[in-house]
């Protein structure tokens, strides 16, 4: 599933072709993705001008001139492509197609249909069921050592699992938690309640740094992910832990190990990470 850096990269790629432009034609080619699309979805989008784009956790939020927000979640295999008119002929996996007054065509393609879209009043974002309980943005001002300390106090779960909890911090996924824990030299098996204090002081800046590094690299292209431009991200070439089972640790030369936590693969160095 695309994680925060991938979603941020796609959102930034959509800004130029969408921001300030009118959605002149919207084609909805099926009634549902993971969930049913909103009633009269294409009709309500068509003719609207895009006021701005932003991201919350792994959701792309597109604010419209009628004070509504178009939400997109890419799910497991959702991809967005931007093309010039006339564009390619749509294939069976292109479920939503949008044309703009700037001559761009945006295709939402989703082979597995695990993505979702919604329309809701912009001022109701704080109470939207999928947004209201999210934790702080890891790249925002509300994510800091004190906030992480408060979220982890007394938690009897491994720190890896705690960081994947979207109530603790929004948008983190398996790849970047593995990488941040490796950089901070913290074992993914360590209990979350032991992190507040000095370990949190190490961890917070490394979470921010690994996300920013990945955004600069255009994300990590694993399986289905590509940028909105159609280009591949390349942060996977910088992985120090994720997917490197059996390879040498870039810090100490020992072997990277893999364990399974909560059904997810965790990659770490048992020598460096304590």
- Catalytic residue annotation: 2-3, 58, 264
Q: Count CA atoms within 13 Å of residue 63 on its CB side.
A: 11
The answer to whether 229 and 244 are in contact (CB under 8 A) is no
From the list 123, 207, 126, 215, the residue with the least C-alpha distance to 172 is 207
Would you report the helix, strand and coil content of the chain in percent, each value rounded to 5? 30, 25, 45
Name the DSSP letter for residue 248.
B
Torsions phi, psi for 191 (to 5 deg): -65, 140
Q: What angle do CA 96, 16, 83 make, to 5 degrees?
A: 45
In the chain, DSSP assigns E strands to 23-28, 50-56, 59-64, 68-73, 78-84, 94-100, 104-110, 116-121, 256-261, 264-269
Sheet of 78-84: strands edge to edge?
23-28, 94-100, 104-110, 78-84
DSSP-derived secondary structure for 20-58: T-BEEEEEE--SBSSSBPPTTHHHHHTTPBEEEEEEETT
Nearest-angstrom CA–CA distance, 144 and 4? 17
Identify whether 86 is preceded by a cis peptide bond (ω within 30 of 0): yes
Q: What are phi and psi of 51, to 5 degrees?
A: -85, -35
């Amino acid at each position: 599933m695309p994680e925060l850096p991938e979603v941020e990269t796609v959102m930034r790629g959509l800004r130029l072709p969408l921001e300030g432009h009118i959605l002149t034609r919207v084609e909805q080619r099926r009634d549902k993705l993971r969930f049913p699309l909103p009633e009269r979805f294409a009709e309500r989008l068509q003719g609207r001008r895009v006021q701005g784009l932003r991201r919350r956790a792994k959701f792309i939020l597109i604010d419209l001139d009628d004070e509504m927000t178009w939400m997109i979640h890419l799910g497991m295999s959702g991809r967005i492509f931007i093309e010039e008119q006339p564009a390619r002929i749509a294939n069976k996996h292109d479920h939503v197609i949008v044309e703009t007054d700037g001559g761009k065509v945006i295709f939402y393609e989703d082979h597995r249909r695990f993505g979702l879209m919604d329309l809701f009043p912009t001022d109701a974002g704080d109470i939207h069921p999928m947004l209201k309980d999210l934790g702080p943005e890891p790249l925002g001002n509300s994510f800091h050592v004190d906030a992480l300390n408060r979220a982890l106090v007394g938690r009897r779960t491994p720190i890896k699992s705690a960081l994947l909890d979207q109530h603790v911090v929004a948008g983190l996924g398996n790849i970047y938690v593995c990488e941040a824990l490796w950089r901070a030299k913290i074992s993914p098996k360590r209990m979350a309640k032991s992190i507040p204090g000095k370990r949190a002081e190490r961890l917070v800046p490394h979470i921010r740094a690994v996300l920013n590094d990945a955004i600069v690299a255009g994300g990590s292209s694993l399986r289905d992910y590509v940028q909105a431009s159609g280009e591949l991200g390349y942060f996977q070439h910088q992985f120090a832990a994720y997917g490197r089972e059996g390879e040498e640790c870039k810090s100490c030369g020992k072997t990277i190990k893999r364990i399974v936590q909560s059904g997810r693969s965790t990659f770490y160095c048992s020598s460096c990470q304590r």
